[in-house]
Each structure stands twice: as structure tokens, then as C-alpha cells.
Amino acid sequence: MDITLRDVTPDDAEALAHVLITAGESAFRGLVPDQCLTFTEAESAANWRRFLGGEGVPESDFFVVAIVNGVVVGYVWGGTHADDPVYRGELRQIQILPDSQGRGVGRKLVAYVAEKLASQKIYTMRVEVISVNPNRAFYERLGAKYVSEHPYDWDGVMMSMCVYGWADTRGFY
């Protein structure tokens, strides 16, 4: 599969919303209360347009989409994490359409984040994952180690958020 990465633009709002909502439905339907999954693609696209238009985007953050055969099949959002002295980089969000999972898209997106952080001389990275996420094993297969857990409020539902970390990301690129 030929996977192309490119920087996200505000014009990608609808594609990002489609990937986010579709991947979320696939991963979480039946594992979390329905109220956590009521967000629509239209609502998500509006949020992405505002966010990518500069509303609250930290300067150190970066976003890329993964494209296969001209279609956005996933994205990743990464940046620095100043509040963690051990894991100074963060994989903030990664989403991949269910039909494109298991085909190297996620690995390529994680490697992109690691390489982008390395350009800032950051060689450690963390990711936070809802404990019921069936894709947690993906991070473990990529060498992330369980670090800790903390409570998380997902639309009024208290859940557990797991933190995973990579002590050295130089093997990704």
C-alpha cells in the first residue's frame, strides 16, 4: 500500500471528521455508553475548522493526514509535552479508518511524530489511551510501556485513561 503523508490544512476538516467519527464508532460502540458517541461528523468538522483556523492550536503542535489512493484514511496530531519531564513528546491523537488498519498506516504516522519530535531533539514520547480502547495493543506492539492511569471524564462518563510511553523513539525512523 502506498501511503502519502502531508500537512493538514483547514480544508481537511470534513475528512478529519469522517475519520474521527468512523474510527471512534468502530472502536468504541458497545464498549462505552452511547452518549459518548453522539457527536456527528458535521459537529466534528465545525470543530476542526475552528481548531485548524488557529483557535487554540499550540505552536509546537503538528498534524498530518495519511492518504491512500487519493483518500484521507487517517491522521495524527503530535507535539511537545512540557508537563512530563520524562516523556517530553506526545502523540496527542491518531485515528485510522477501520478498513485501513493493520496495513502500516498507524506505524507510519507514529514514526512521523517520533521523527518530527527528534528534529526538536526530543527522543521520548507518551500517548494517553482510554482503558477500554481495543487498539491499546497497537502501542504495545510498537514498544510503548504502560506508565500510569488516571481518571478521565468522557461526556459525563468517568473512565480510566492509560498513559503509555516510549523511553527512546529513535528506532522509529
> What is the SS3 string spanning the chain?
CCCEEEECCHHHHHHHHHHHHHHHHHHHECCECHHHHCCCHHHHHHHHHHHHCCCCCCCCCEEEEEEECCEEEEEEEEEECCCCCCCCEEEEEEEECHHHCCCCHHHHHHHHHHHHHHCCCCCCEEEEEECCCCCHHHHHHCCCEEEEEEEEEECCEEEEEEEEEECCCHHHC
Q: Provide the domain count of the chain.
A: 1
Q: What is the pLDDT of residue 172?
A: 79
Instruction: Read off the CATH number of the domain in which 17 is found.
Output: 3.40.630.30
The set of residues, in sequence order, having a beta carbon less than 8 Å from that of 156 and lying 6+ positions away, is 35
Q: What is the pLDDT of residue 155?
A: 87
Q: What is the pLDDT of residue 1?
A: 78
| Tens of pLDDT, residue by residue, the chain (173 residues) | 799 999 998 899 999 999 999 999 999 999 999 889 999 999 999 999 988 887 666 778 899 999 999 999 999 999 999 888 999 999 999 999 999 999 999 999 999 999 999 999 999 999 999 999 999 999 999 999 999 999 999 989 999 999 999 999 998 77
In this structure, what C-alpha cell is assigned to residue 129? 489511551
Q: Give the structural domain span for 34.
A: 4-172
Q: What is the pLDDT of residue 58?
A: 74
CA atoms of 131 and 151, how far apart (whole Å) = 10
